[in-house]
Each structure stands twice: as C-alpha cells, then as structure tokens.
Structure 1
C-alpha cells in the first residue's frame, strides 16, 4: 500500500495531515437552468450563485473541512474577485501565504450552467498560477506530509511532484480530463471520473474498472474513479478493484462535488483508512455538496 507521511502531529496524538495543494483558483458564477438557450432566445434562469471556486481551491477547502492543515499554491488577480476568493479561503481555514496576487492579470473565472443532473462550464483564464507553483520551495514541501496537484502536466507541477517524492512526501493527482501520466508514474493517488477515464488512451469504453486496473498496474499507483450515482471504485496494483456504492439522492448542483470527493478520499487515506473507508468518506463529502445549492466542499 502507498506509504503515508510519517511525521507526527504536534500534539503527539497521531500522524499529521498537513497538505500542500497546487492548482487553480477561480471565481464561479453558477446558473441553475434546465437547458441552455437557443440562438437569440432569452431564457430565464433559476437561482444563481457567485462564489469562489476552482478545483484546487475547492479541494483545499474540502481538506480543511476534513481536519487537515492546508496550504494552497495558486494565483488570483489584484481585483475584487481575487480578494473575495482569498477571504473565502481564509475563512475556510486555508493558509493562503503561497497564493500569488498577480497585479498584471484579472482573477480567473468560470461560468457554470447547472441543471442538477449535469453541468456545462466555460472558463476564462486569468492570473498566472504557474508562477506561484514555481515559487514553492523545498522548505514548503518538507513542511507538509502530502502534496495534491491539479492542472496540466507542466514543468512547475512536474518539478513540484519530483520535490515531494525526493523528500518522501506522498502525492495525489487530479486528472481533470487530461492524461497526467508524466506526473503520476510511481506511487500516487490518481483521481478521475468515469467520463475522464473513458477518454484515456487504451481505455475500455464501457468498463471503468478495467481501465482503472490497467492504469494502476502501468503507473504502479492507485487509481480512483467516481461513477456518479453508482458510487466509486479503487484500483490498486496486484489487487482486485474495489467498488463502493453511494446512497441515492436528488442532486441540486454538481459543481464542486468531485473536489469534495477528492478531499474526503485524501483525508481518509492520510488518516490510515482502508480503501473502502476512504471511498465512503469521499462519497459522503460529495453528497454534502451536490445536495445543496451553492455549497462548497
């Protein structure tokens, strides 16, 4: 099994759960709508929410909610939306000392159309998070037990993962619709959803468990796949895949559900939980988000 961080908690009660999360921070506008408008149509939407988001920021908030000490390496613009993002992160218990305030760019944004059963999203690039990730140093990595990365397999993220492994820190990688193999080779938690798994090179289109197992063996790491209303599965090298169902609910807004799941899985795993425990903890965290409008992990 993939090794946990070995550092002791400051109070001596057990393993510490100090996590560095690296990736994007957005300001999200989420519109509740049964469908998208046709050309020239003025469609009246339902409720809407405007709040901080982004996969890395959401996961950082979720990990803080799960009891971890979290530092985020990311970037926002020097504007009102960036300040709102920072305020929300700090209020949620996230250390933002490694969030770069970019005076030359706006804060990244995402426009989300959510129908409860699904969502569609447009993103707008802003502040340069790669510069913030590049600024993470060895001392930052030594100060944590685990590093979680979100984004593309860029040089800054590849360097950060290499630093984590050099110092014996465990790693998790959000695949987010991309082939993150350049980051994920070796021990790691690799997190993705079934649609993302289906699009991977060599995937079995109708068998996410077979795809997950193939990648677990190839990467020599753990592969965790969310299956929507069917729960989630965990594939490990040399072991049969484990499937854990979730309880049926009526989703209100799926935005952030996957990030909450990731946070629950990572926190469960860092606390020494079994694969089943980690999946259930992640699924419960996701349900908390998707059954509440405008909720965050």
Structure 2
C-alpha cells in the first residue's frame, strides 16, 4: 500500500450565473487528497493520513475518499473546521486563496503521529501541508521516522505566496528531500528551490545530489523529465488534449506515476534502486495519460482505470 500524507480541503470553484456575479461551488480537493483519489480510482488501494473535520465539508471529503476506495483508517478527526481554497481561473490556469487558520488539517502536530501498518511500503507527501505549522512539522516528522524502512515520495507543489517563513520552510524541505527516494517538482518549483540562471537539467541533478534516487520535473505542455542514477534524462511528451482547466493536473500525474511503479513492484525501499530508464519512462507516460484526462474536464476529477485510453 502507498500511504498519501497531506491536506484534504474544499476547493471553492467559480461558476458563472445568469447575472453579473460569480458563485462558488464546493468541490473536494487538496493536492495530496487529489492524488489519493486518483490512486484509488486507478485501483492502487491507497491509504490516507490527514486531519479531517467532522463539519459538513469534512463529511463531504470523507464520502469522496470512500467512494474512490481510499482507506481512511489513519485519518485523524476533530471538530475544527475544514480548510477552504477559493479558486480563480484565468485561461484555464488555477490560482488559489486559502483560508486555513486553526483548521482540522493544519492543527496536526508531531504528537499525533500514527502507527503505520506493515502493509505500507511507500509514503507520499506534498502540497500546502508541508508549509504551515504545526502540520508541516507533523508530516516532516512522519517522513523522517519512516524513511529508513519505506519509500518516501515528495511533491512540494510550492505556493510561494503562502510561505510566511521562507528560511524555516526551506530548512524543513531540505530535510525531507534528503530522506526522499523520489522528488517530483514542476519547472517553477525547481526554479524556486534552486534559484538562478542554470539550466533545468543542471538544477535537477543538483536536487538529486541532495539524496533522492530520482527527480521528476514536469513542464506543463512540454512534458516531463526524470533524472535517475545515470546522466541521461528520461523524457516523455505531454498528451495533447483540449484543456478545460488545470486543477489537479500535477496531482493526478503523480498518481499515474506511482500507480505504474506500484504495478511493476517497484514502489518500496528495497526496489528503488531497480527503477531504471524503462520503468521510469513507462511511469511518466502513464502519469501523462492520467493527467490528460483530468485537464480535459472541469475541476480535480481524476479518471477511473476504465476511462483511460
């Protein structure tokens, strides 16, 4: 099992009305939530660790997880409210405004660390849950504790405008990257982590030198690259589809990659060294295929396995 560790929140998606005003419709979301949902729909039987509210939005999130076959035994429930993310769409690109103070997800601390069952071979981390304290410390502590025996995958999905203490965030992220087996970043994430004019490949190799077995870099419509043990990068193109919006695109790409590696029996600490160019290329292609379906329809709505071409 892969255990997805991070935020579950409500995306408030703008909807046009007959008048001049815009209304917002609540959709279950969050970067790590979206990846868990996509993995469940792809048949990978994931688990989920998050702080989940008992309010009406928390109930909506729990129902969505159950419907997509995500194991919620390790979810930590409370009476605090659910995080809300209001989405602004410009030419299909999503921007977010978060309402996250004193919420069920953000209020997790290292005191809440759960016992992880032996069936879990890999843990996936990412999103805004790695930014804000105390939950960021919860997830960092979990990654560092489990890294010696289980594969660690991280997608920081950096929201620079959301970071209040950049020095603290960078220090925490560096510790997590050092114990990670796979780090996935967008080209924008990579430029933020390693600023300066160096080429993308140079920066990716520098990031890999910090500890990961592999670094995956997505470039939107230009496809994805992976940098592993060898000097040569593995590259796959993006699938060409008519884009409705990009909400959840990177999250579902991650699910496709992880589902492919899991199906190949490679998603464990012991098998990380066996992920060669062929397996990585297949994983990236599957990720691109899953993401293409997601961007072709509104919101973060990952495909079921039977919907893939």
Does residue 234 (structure 1) correspond to residue 211 (structure 2)? The answer is: no
Aligned-partner Cα distance in 2 for 1:220–1:76: 30
Instruction: Measure how far apart 1:132 and its partner are.
Output: 7.3
Structure 2 residue aligned with 1:29? 12
Distance (whole Å) between structure 1 residues aligned to residue 63 and residue 185 of structure 2 = 29
Say yes or no: does 1:290 pair with 2:295: yes
CA drift at 1:48: 5.7
Within 5 Å, which residues of 2 pair with 1:28-107? 28-31=11-14, 44-45=21-22, 49-103=25-79, 105-107=80-82
Change (3 A) 1:291 1:228: same
TM-score under structure 1 normalisation? 0.82
Question: Structure 1's 227 and 285: CA in aligned 2 closer, same or farther, altered over 3 A?
Answer: same
Kindly indicate whether the alpha-carbon contact (under 8 Å) linking 1:171 and 1:188 is maintained by their aligned counterparts in 2. yes
Tell me, what secondary structure is at the counterpart of 2:298? coil
| 1:267 match | 259
Distance 2:234 2:30 in 1: 29
For 1:265 and 1:20, the matched residues in 2 are separated by 15
Task: Provide structure 2 residue ranges, at least 5 long, that are not aligned to the other structure.
Answer: 159-168, 265-277, 303-309
Q: Give 1:197 shift.
A: 1.0
2:152 counterpart residue number: 171
Whole-Å separation in 2 of the counterparts to 1:240 and 1:21? 30
Q: Which has the higher helix share?
A: 2
Contact persistence 1:98–1:136 (CA under 8 A):
no
Q: Which residue of 2 aligns with 1:19?
A: 2
| Structure 1 residues 203 and 269: CA distance shift in structure 2, 3 A | farther
Over 3 Å counting, the alpha-carbon distance change for 1:119 and 1:128 in structure 2 is: closer
Q: Is the alpha carbon distance of 1:49 and 1:289 closer, same or farther for their aligned partners in structure 2, counting shifts above 3 Å?
A: farther
Which structure 1 residue ranges, 4+ long, deviate > 3 Å from structure 2?
Answer: 42-45, 132-138, 202-205
Q: CA deviation at 1:127?
A: 1.2
Preserved CA contact (<8 Å) 1:100 1:132: no
Equivalences for residues 124-139 of structure 1 within 5 A: 124-125=99-100, 126-129=103-106, 131=108, 134-138=111-115
Unpaired runs of 5+ residues, structure 1, are 1-17, 34-41
> When the two structures are superposed, what TM-score results if normalisation uses the length of structure 2?
0.79
Provide closer, same or farther for how the CA distance between residues 117 and 28 of structure 1 changes in structure 2, counting only shifts above 3 A.
closer
Figure out how many residues of one structure are paired with residues of the other and give that number: 267
255-264 or 220-229, which deviates more? 220-229
Deviates more, 1:278-287 or 1:143-152: 143-152
Match of 1:181 in 2: 174
Match of 1:7 in 2: none
